[in-house]
Structure 1
Amino acid sequence: MSAQAASKRNYHHGDLKQALLDETARILREEGEEALSLRTLAAKLGVSRTAPYNHFKNKQSLLCAVAEDGFTRFNQSMKNARDLSRDKGGEAITRAMVKAYLDFARSHREYYDLMFAGEFWRSEDLTPALKTKARSVLRQDIERLKRGQQRGLIAQDLDTVQFSQMYWGTLHGISRLSLDGVFTDNTSLKKLCDSTATMLWQQLDPKGN
C-alpha cells in the first residue's frame, strides 16, 4: 500500500461534509480564499481528489455552504447571548446582543465576510439553501420581536420589520468599520456599542414614548 493510500482517512458521509466545511473555514481564516480549492481540501483532509465532489459540485457551492454554516453559528451565538441575559431585563438583553453580534463578526471573520459579502450575494449561482437560511435568520428576529410585543415586553407600536432592518444595518455597519480597520480603539468601540444598545432599547422599551 502506498504512503498516499495509507494516509487516506475514513469518514462517514456526514463527517466528511462537516470536515470540508471546517477546513474551508480554517483556510479562509489563515490563508485566504485564493488558497482554497476542492483539490487542496482533499489533500489536506487525506481523502481522494473526487471525494469533495460527492458533497459540493464546485467551489462556489462549497462557499455557499460555509456561509450557511456561518448563519447557523451566528444564530446560536445570538441565542446564547439572549439566554444568558434573559433574567436581567430587556435593556441588558439588547446590550448583550449588540456585543454578541460584534464579537461574532470580529472572532469569526471567515464566516462573516461570506455571510454579508456584497460581491458574493450578487452572484447568480447562490444555492437555494443559503438564501433560505439567511432569510430565516432575519425572519426569526422579526417573529421574536412580535412575541415580545404580545407579552408586553416590547413597545406595541414598534414596526418590527423596520426595526429589524435598522438593527441589522446598524450593527453590520459598526462591524464592517471594525473589520476594515476604521475603528481600532477597543475602548471607543465599546462606548459606541453601549450607545447603540441604548438607542435600540429606546425603540424597544414598552415604557417609552
Structure 2
Amino acid sequence: MTYKKSYHHGNLHQELLEEATRMIGEQGVDGISMRALAERVGVSRTAAYHHFKDKNALLCAIAEQGFEKWQAHFAQLMRERDMNSWLTAFVHAYLDFSREHPEEYDLMFGRPVWKNGAPTESLKTASFACFQHYVDLIRVDLIRSWQDKGKSATGTDCLRLAQVSWSMLHGMSRLLNDGIYLDKNSIDAMSDSAVAMILAAIQSPD
C-alpha cells in the first residue's frame, strides 16, 4: 500500500476529520470504522490510531471542530450590539449552519456522542463555551432592555430563557435536516418568527 505524503507533511489529522465527515454523510455513523477510514485516506490503521485512539475520539473531534467553526462565526455576530440585528443574524446563522453541515451538527448535538458515546473534556469545554456566549448576550440585552423601561430584570432566569430559545432553534434544525421543511420561504418565515418570539421574551416584563 502506498501512503499519502500528507501524513509526512503533518496534516493527516485534518484529512482524517474531513474524510470521516464525508463518510458519515454517505453511510451514517454506524457505517464508519477506523479501519475503513484509514483505507479511504490511504494510510495504515496505525497511522490513523496515532491521531484518534478510537472511533469515539474521532466522532468527538468532528463535533468539536463543528463548535470551533460556529464559535468563529459567533464572534462575528458579537460585534453587532443592536439586539434585533445580532439575534436575527444568530437565528438565521444557526439554521444555516445546521443545514450546511448536517453531519457535524448531528454529532455536536446528537446521541452518537452525548448518549451512546463518551464526550471528551475538550468537546465539553467547546460546547459549553458556545452556549455560554449565547447566555451572556441574552443576559446583557435583557438587562439593557428592562433598564430602558425603568424596570429590574433581576428576577428573570436568563439561563432558562437561553435554554428554551436554543432548544427551539434545535428543534427547527431537526425538522429541516430530517426533510420535513425544505421550502426556503418557510425556513425564512420560521426564522423570523423565532426571532420575534425570543425578542418578546427578552423585552416584555412578566
Specify the alignment match of 1:185 in structure 2.
Answer: 183
Q: Structure 1: 5+ residue runs without aligned partners?
A: none
Specify the alignment match of 2:57 in structure 1.
Answer: 61
Specify the alignment match of 2:134 in structure 1.
Answer: 141
* 2:116 paired with 1:120: no
* Aligned with residue 161 of structure 2, among 156, 160, 163: 163
Give the alignment of 1:12-161 within 5 angstroms: 15-83=11-79, 86=80, 89-123=82-116, 125-148=118-141, 152=144, 157=153, 158-161=156-159
The one-letter code sitting in structure 2 at the alignment partner of 1:197 is V
Q: Structure 2: 5+ residue runs without aligned partners?
A: none
| CA contact 1:95–1:197 (8 Å) conserved in 2 | yes
The one-letter code sitting in structure 1 at the alignment partner of 2:179 is G
4+ residue segments displaced more than 4 Å: 147-150, 153-156
| CA contact 2:111–2:117 (8 Å) conserved in 1 | no
Q: Which moved more, 1:97-106 or 1:195-204?
A: 195-204
Q: Distance in 2 between matches of 1:178 and 1:38?
A: 30
Cα deviation for residue 121 of structure 1 reads 1.4
1:64-119 Cα shifts (integer Å, max 9, x gaps) = 11111111112223333444xx16x2112111111000000111001011111135
SS for the counterpart of 2:175 is helix
TM-score, with structure 2 as normaliser? 0.84
Q: Distance in 1 between matches of 2:134 and 2:60?
A: 22
- In the superposition, relative to structure 1, how do residues 51 and 200 fare at CA in structure 2: closer, same or farther (>3 Å)? same
| CA contact 2:98–2:105 (8 Å) conserved in 1 | yes
- Residue correspondences, number: 199
**Identity percentage over the alignment?**
36
SS for the counterpart of 2:11 is helix
Q: Distance in 1 between matches of 2:172 and 2:54?
A: 33
| CA contact 2:56–2:117 (8 Å) conserved in 1 | no
| CA contact 2:95–2:169 (8 Å) conserved in 1 | yes
